[in-house]
Amino acid sequence: MTPAPLSDDPNGRHRDPMTGAVTEEALLHFLEAVLAMAEPVGPQVGMLCLGIDGLDGITARHGTAVRDAALLGVADRMHERIRVQDLVGRVDGGFGVCLADIFPAQAVAAAERLLRCIRAMPVPTPIGALALTCSVGLVLSRGGTDQAPMLLDRARDLREAARRSGGDSLVTSLQGRPG
């Protein structure tokens, strides 16, 4: 069972006003609840961190309006492609996704689909369609002693490893899986 995402947020305290993704704080609360319900066998809980490659350069060259359009375009693609039980949140300058009740192969496939989708579909911006790539880090947990902030930090570290390796890639902590 998965906790319901935040649907009533009349004051907008739990959502990023630009992208509609939940705040990092709300994502961590959701992740903590999902981890608390995780079973020792079967599906796991995934935490995915995604950063747009070269976003700082895009901002420096074209300004915040183009950066915001890029973030919104990526957020739209993420919201369109995640399952109803998953939750997209803003993490650092990018995004995080809590993947509730998911098997390792499903989590890797979901992350790879997001990478392909973002790569294949340029986002509309004030300067025209902009092709983007992303770096993604993915970790899985069965709950237990794992805490939400620790899981998020591990996913961030893997996202940075993907970025350092040239970007446009996925790095996971799964044994025997390509990263």
In this prediction, residue 12 carries a pLDDT of 56
* Contact by Cβ (8 Å): 77, 121: yes
What is residue 29's predicted lDDT score, i.e. its pLDDT? 96
d(CA 67, CA 85): 28
Rounded Cα distance, 40 and 58, in Å: 43
- pLDDT, tens only, 81-130: 899 999 999 999 899 999 999 999 999 999 999 999 999 999 999 999 99
Q: What local confidence, expressed as pLDDT, does residue 23 receive?
A: 96
Q: What is the DSSP string of 45-69?
A: EEEEEEEETTHHHHHHHH-HHHHHH
Map residue 110 onto helix, strand or coil. helix
Q: Is-contact 33 119, C-beta < 8 A?
A: no
Contacts of 85 (CB under 8 A, 6+ apart): 2, 100, 101
What pLDDT digit, counting tens, does each position of 130-179 carry? 999 999 999 999 888 789 999 999 999 999 999 999 999 999 987 544 44
Q: What backbone phi and psi angles, to 5 degrees, belong to 66?
A: -70, -40
